[in-house]
Amino acid sequence: MHYPNGKKNDQTQKTLANVSKSHAFSNRGMTLEEDINAANAFYRDTGKASIHKKPTPIQVVNVHYPKRSAAVITEGYFKQPSTTDYNGIYHGRHIDFEAKETKNKTRFPLANIHEHQIRHMKSIINHGGICFLIIRFSAHGETFYMPAETLFRYWDDQINGGKKSIRYETIANEGHIVPFHYQARVHYLAIIDKLYF
C-alpha cells in the first residue's frame, strides 16, 4: 500500500500479506460435504444419477415462536443413530456411502466410523447395492474412494486386536483417487463406472 506521499507502508503490506495468506488457507477448497453436494446436484441436473444427502432424524422437543410467521427450535434430540451420509440410485443400482474428512496426514482413524454404520453398509452390500467410503486427506488435498468390502477387512481386523486406523499409503494403494471435475468436484461416479459398469 502506498500513501499519497509515495512511501510504502511495510507494516500494512505485511498485514495484507498475512490476511490474504490466512484467507487463502481458509478457502483452499470447499469442505468435502459441500463438494459432494455440488457433485450430486450436477448429477441430478444432468440426469446422470439421483443421489441425496440423508437428513438426520431429529425429535423436536421445544419450539419458540418469536413471531407468528417464524418458529425457532430451541431443543431437540437425535431420534436414532444415522446410517450413512448419502444414498440414491445410479444405472438401476442402489448407491450408499459415508464421507469422512481427516486432517491426519498419515492415517485414517477407524474411530471415525461407527459399528451401526458398518452393519448398515454390510446390509447394503448383501442386497446388491454399491456401498463405499469417501475419505479426504485435507493435508494432502486428495480424496479417495474405498469400497465397503475393503473397509470391512480393516474394521474386522481392529475388532480382533488389529490396528485402529488405516495408513494413508494403504488407502492410496487399495482405494481409488477420486478425480476432480469442474462441475462434479468429487466425481465419484467415474470410479463407480470403472468398477461396476
Question: How many structural domains is the chain composed of?
Answer: 1
Please check whether residue 43 lies inside any domain of the structure: yes
Judged by phi (left if over 0) then psi (alpha if -120 to 50, else beta), residue 91 lies in left
Please check whether residue 59 lies inside any domain of the structure: no
Please check whether residue 174 lies inside any domain of the structure: yes
Please check whether residue 14 lies inside any domain of the structure: no
pLDDT at residue 104 above 80? yes
Please check whether residue 17 lies inside any domain of the structure: no
What is the pLDDT averaged over residues 143-152?
97
Residue 37 near residue 55, CB atoms below 8 Å: no
Q: Which domain holds residue 99?
A: 29-54+82-196
Which tens digits make up the pLDDT trace of 23-80? 333 334 459 999 999 999 999 999 999 999 987 767 777 888 887 778 887 887 766 6
Quick one: pLDDT at residue 82?
Answer: 73
Quick one: pLDDT at residue 19?
Answer: 39
Annotated binding site: 83, 85, 98, 117
What is the pLDDT averaged over residues 122-133?
98
CATH number, domain with residue 122: 3.40.1350.10
Please check whether residue 110 lies inside any domain of the structure: yes
Residues above pLDDT 70, as percent of the chain = 82
Please check whether residue 2 lies inside any domain of the structure: no
Quick one: pLDDT at residue 24?
Answer: 31
Annotated binding site for Mg(2+): 83, 85, 98, 117
Please check whether residue 8 lies inside any domain of the structure: no
Locate all alpha helices (DSSP H) within the chain, ordered by sequence.
10-26, 32-45, 115-126, 148-159, 168-174, 188-196
Q: What would the grid cell of residue 160 be?
A: 480382533
Judged by phi (left if over 0) then psi (alpha if -120 to 50, else beta), residue 73 lies in beta
